[in-house]
Amino acid sequence: MTLLVDAKVTKQERIAPSHYRLSLLVPEIAAEARPGQFLQVRCGSTLDPFLRRPISIHAVDRKKGVVAILYRVAGRGTALLAEKIRGNQVSLLGPLGKGFSMPENQARVSVVSGGIGVAPLYFLLAELAESSISADVFLGAATADQLFLAKEITGLGHRVYTATDDGSTGYHGLVTELFVEIMTHTDPPKPHLKGQEGLLNDPFESIIDNNRYAMIYGCGPGGMLRRLTEIVRAAGIPGEISLEERMGCGVGACLSCVCKTSTSEESIQYSRVCTEGPVFPAVEVVWS
């Protein structure tokens, strides 16, 4: 059920120069939210900006009735959101969209994240941990200071591998290429793993006994998801990816968020990211 509610800010944390985590008391949404779903957030306290902004549900504490969002200040809306302090009200519409499906058994899964894509994936990882499902988690970012949550995710019991574009921590290169190395190589990719000590629980065991996963989940920039789709196809493993498109209404009415999808070789259709997604089976997304 989608709800329109005023939520009270319980905490605003600045976790990096332009990244924030906002916690909101909203028991109705906390009870309903599923990993991969998002909220339409009124960022200011007036009708300017007029459109709500889509932000993923990052974490949920159902007992306390608290929902958290993790966001990067990208423009006017998110800049206004960053000004909220404890006690302020924020209008939310949600939970919206179709989220990730949970695996049918307890086999190991993999989770690949690029940049702020970690925001919804953290909620998924918390739910997987609750169901005693372990994940190998691949966190990518441009630089070390934009790489979040590695310790928290390790604390949930998952294995974490990191990659940065500039090599400032973890693997030097794209997170998808680190993922390919771990999936396919039997030799440990030692030369690239500088800086990961303390994050990896037992890095090389995973290479030996887990070069295939029951499921691959991903969220991040378009280029990363496109590459991940190729990997999912090549590996023949089920995969789900969460897409980001510019949104208007967030509820299926304006068609501003459509992407191309296909469920058979002959047919291509347009799907609304806000309602048919944002999570899609990776093989159904048609990249142009």
Ligand X SMILES: Cc1cc2nc3c(=O)[nH]c(=O)nc-3n(C[C@H](O)[C@H](O)[C@H](O)COP(=O)(O)OP(=O)(O)OC[C@H]3O[C@@H](n4cnc5c(N)ncnc54)[C@H](O)[C@@H]3O)c2cc1C
Q: In the stretch 40-79, what mask flags binding to ligand X with x, by CB under 6 A?
A: ---------x---xxxx------------xxxx-xxxxx-
3-state SS class at 89: strand
Is the CB of residue 207 less than 8 Å from the CB of residue 182?
yes
| Choice between 35 and 97, CB closer to ligand FES | 97
Does 285 bind ligand X (CB under 6 A)? Our answer is no
Please state, in angstroms and rounded to a whole number, the distance separating the CA atoms of residues 66 and 60.
6
92 binding ligand X? (CB under 6 A):
no
Q: Which does 168 bind (CB under 5 to 8 A by kind): ligand X, ligand FES, none?
A: none
Least Å from the CB of residue 89 to ligand FES: 24
Q: What amino acid is encoded at 272 in this protein?
A: R
Is the CB of 53 or the CB of 227 nearer to ligand X? 53
Residues contacting ligand FES: total by CB under 6 A: 12
In 145-171, which positions are buried (b, 16+ CB within 10 angstroms) versus exposed (e)? Answer: ebbbbbeebbebebbbbbbbeeebbbb
Residue of minimal CB distance from ligand X? 75
Distance between CA atoms of 52 and 208, rounded to whole angstroms? 47
Write the DSSP symbol of residue 49. S
Question: DSSP H helical segments within the chain, as ranges?
Answer: 27-32, 76-81, 118-130, 150-155, 175-184, 203-209, 222-235
DSSP state of 126: H
Give the contact letters, 119-148, x = binds to ligand X (CB under 6 A), - = no: x-----------------------------
3-state secondary structure 170-182: CEECCHHHHHHHH
Q: How far apart are CA 146 and CA 149, in angstroms?
A: 10
- Using CB under 6 A as the binding rule, whether residue 103 contacts ligand X is answered as no
Q: Which residues lie across from 13 on neighbouring strands?
A: 21
Q: Is 278 in the site for ligand X (CB under 6 A)?
A: yes
Q: Answer yes or no whether residue 156 interacts with ligand X by CB under 6 A.
A: no
> CB 134 → ligand FES: shortest distance, Å?
34
Instruction: Print the binding letters for residues 247-276 with ligand FES: x by CB under 6 A, - otherwise.
Output: xxxx-xxxxxx--------------x-x--
Q: Give, as ranges, the residues between 213 and 252 that touch ligand FES (CB under 6 A).
A: 247-250, 252
**How many residues sit close enough to ligand X to count as binding (CB under 6 A)?**
22
Give the interface with ligand FES as residue ranges (CB under 6 A).
247-250, 252-257, 272, 274
Give the interface with ligand X as residue ranges (CB under 6 A).
38, 49, 53-56, 69-72, 74-78, 116, 119, 244-247, 278
